[in-house]
Homo-oligomer: A and B are copies of this chain.
Amino acid sequence: MVKRGIKSGPRMADRVYEDIRRAIVQGELKPGERITEEVLADRFGASRTPVRSAIVRLASDGFVDMTPHSGTAVKSRARHEIAEIYDVRAMLESFAARLAAERHEEHHLARLDGIQSELEELSAAARRGEREDAVDALSSLNLGFHQAILDAAGNPTLKDSANRLMDIGFLINTYASFDASEIDRSVSDHRKLLTAIRSRDGAWAEALMRAHILGARNSLIDHPPRH
């Protein structure tokens, strides 16, 4: 082989994993699309070995389906599967919200406040002018908010389980939150949630988070993204 990609610092397999993952999440690789190891290897300037390693991990994470000698395809999910994922997320994250309310430290709150104010500003800006750039940023801030709550809950296993599901549903989320009213609802949900957590009201936080996620779930079912 001639040359590896750009830099040789991190492991090639990791870079390939991240890249494929991102490609899937961003919709560059569509559900059902077949991916062959050789093509990916060429695309990333690597050999098949690290690509293989990456694919194995992606399969374990539920992003692709690997069938023995036939090939690998981006996993496609039926509507009801998406709904199921949201149901489980609702359980996990509402639990996290309760724990966060009950156990959070001051710095967790500070981080949540920071993210929330960015979220407020950005959504206000998005409602007016440059919405195009804002969607990605909002999506990422939204993710950050949920992460922060999971951190505040102080249960790494819980965070891990929830993240697995969040990652899988991320693509959907991105498109769904394109809707302006959805953005407003989400930001306002977060605001209430933050209040509940700040006042250490576990039950309230739990209920709000459940409603927040199930709300997203239902609006997603009513207005499915293009597929």
Contacts and interface: CB of A to CB of B under 8 A. Distances in A.
Contact of A68 (B11, B57, B85, B95): B11
Interface in A73-107: 81, 84-85, 87-88, 91-92, 95
A214 to B, nearest CB: 13
A181 interface: no
Given A56-B57, A57-B60, A60-B57, A88 B164 contact: no
A57 B88 CA distance: 23
A81 B61 CA distance: 22
Copies in the complex: 2
A95 B92 CA distance: 10
A157 interface: yes
Interface of A: 11, 52-53, 56-57, 60-62, 68, 81, 84-85, 87-88, 91-92, 95, 155-158, 160-161, 164-165
